[in-house]
């Protein structure tokens, strides 16, 4: 099968030619998708009518171990019976739109902050895959930022200054910014994780800025300076030239590399329209060796 990628954005994001991800099993095609990810960082696959089982199977076939210690798992029991299938929607078990003050809604609304998935864990998230199951009749986009292009645009002196820095990521911090507090018991399950600010991506050799709303402090720096630098860098990285907005169609399947991008949900009238997505995220573990 010939698989081609058509670039959509200036520096990143491509649409993959027709392919049925439910049936892709050969290692060669899966590795071509990985190579496409190394180049484009976000890939859009159209017309993927995946079941939950299809999505879970594909994610593991493609990239290994799934992230299941999610922040939503700490809050509620997963309505699909599998914590590795994250419910990214605004409805309850009965399929009714969540009340404005529902804790689950407060948590998912936080996706409107720029972030990378599971940066508050170690290992963090590598690829996230989002499947559009119910798309509202209004725009409810997901916006991405290319953190490689953002890194490349820094001057040499800044790159050298940032190179040794380590960052503590915790979801307790990003939620607190929005007025959402975890209980002590919940907080104990979410201690956060430390990651380098600059990382070299193994597939492409390119460098990227690894940032997120969860980035709370720079290790060994005073809090105000650390937070201000992180804020400035997020502002830098999310300038128009580095970003792309994905307008969802039913059965779109979008894969992004959390090491190379940030993303955020754009607001829409979620008290009126249903929007149902399912996410699977793989952990950034060493790749299995295939012979």
Residues found near ligand OGA in the complex (CB under 6 A): 88, 111, 117, 128, 130, 142, 263, 265, 277, 279
Q: Which does 265 bind (CB under 5 to 8 A by kind): Mn ion, ligand OGA, none?
A: ligand OGA
Which positions touch Mn ion (CB under 5 A)?
117
147 binds, among Mn ion, ligand OGA, none (CB under 5 to 8 A by kind): none
CA–CA dist 128, 282 (Å, integer):
7
Task: Quote the CA–CA distance of 257 and 180 in Å, as a whole number.
Answer: 27
> CA–CA distance from 14 to each of 6, 44, 133 (Å)?
5, 6, 21
Q: Which does 169 bind (CB under 5 to 8 A by kind): Mn ion, ligand OGA, none?
A: none
List the structure tokens of 138. Answer: 């209004």
Q: Which is nearer to Mn ion, 117 or 146 (CB)?
A: 117
- State the pairing for strand pair 276-283/166-169: unpaired
Contact 115, 267 (CB under 8 A): no
**Least CB distance from residue 158 to Mn ion, whole Å?**
27
Q: Which is nearer to Mn ion, 168 or 279 (CB)?
A: 279
Which residue's CB is nearer to Mn ion, number 87 or number 117?
117
Distance in Å, CB of 277 to ligand OGA, minimum: 6
Rank residues 88 and 91 by Cβ distance to ligand OGA and give the closer one: 88
Is residue 284 within 8 Å of 66, Cβ to Cβ?
no
Residue 59, Cβ neighbours under 10 Å: how many?
A: 26
Q: Output the residue with the shortest Cβ distance to ligand OGA.
A: 265
């Amino acid at each position: 099968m010939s698989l081609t990628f058509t670039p959509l954005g200036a520096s990143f994001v491509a649409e993959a030619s027709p392919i049925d991800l439910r049936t892709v099993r050969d290692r060669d095609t899966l590795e071509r998708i990985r190579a496409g990810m190394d180049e484009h960082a976000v890939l859009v696959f159209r017309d993927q009518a995946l079941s939950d089982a299809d999505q879970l199977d594909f994610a593991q076939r493609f990239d290994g171990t799934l992230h299941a210690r999610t922040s939503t798992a700490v809050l509620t029991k997963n309505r699909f019976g599998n914590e590795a299938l994250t419910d990214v929607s605004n409805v309850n078990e009965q399929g009714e739109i969540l009340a404005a003050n529902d804790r689950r809604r407060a948590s998912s609304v936080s996706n409107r902050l720029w972030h990378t998935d599971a940066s508050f864990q170690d290992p963090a998230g590598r690829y996230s895959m989002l499947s559009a199951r119910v798309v509202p009749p209004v725009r409810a986009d997901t916006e991405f930022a290319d953190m490689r292009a953002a890194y490349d645009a820094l001057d040499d002196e800044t790159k050298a200054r940032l190179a040794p820095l380590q960052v503590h990521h915790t979801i307790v911090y990003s939620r607190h910014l929005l007025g959402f507090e975890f209980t002590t018991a919940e907080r104990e399950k979410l201690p956060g994780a430390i990651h380098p600010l600059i990382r070299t991506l193994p597939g492409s050799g390119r460098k990227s800025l690894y940032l997120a709303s969860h980035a709370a402090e720079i290790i060994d720096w005073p809090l105000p300076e650390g937070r201000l630098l992180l804020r400035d860098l997020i502002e830098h990285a999310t300038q128009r030239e580095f970003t792309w907005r994905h307008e969802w169609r039913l059965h779109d399947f979008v894969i992004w590399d959390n090491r190379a991008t940030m993303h955020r949900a754009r607001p829409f009238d979620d008290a009126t329209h249903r929007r149902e997505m399912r996410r699977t995220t793989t952990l950034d573990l060493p790749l299995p060796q295939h012979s």
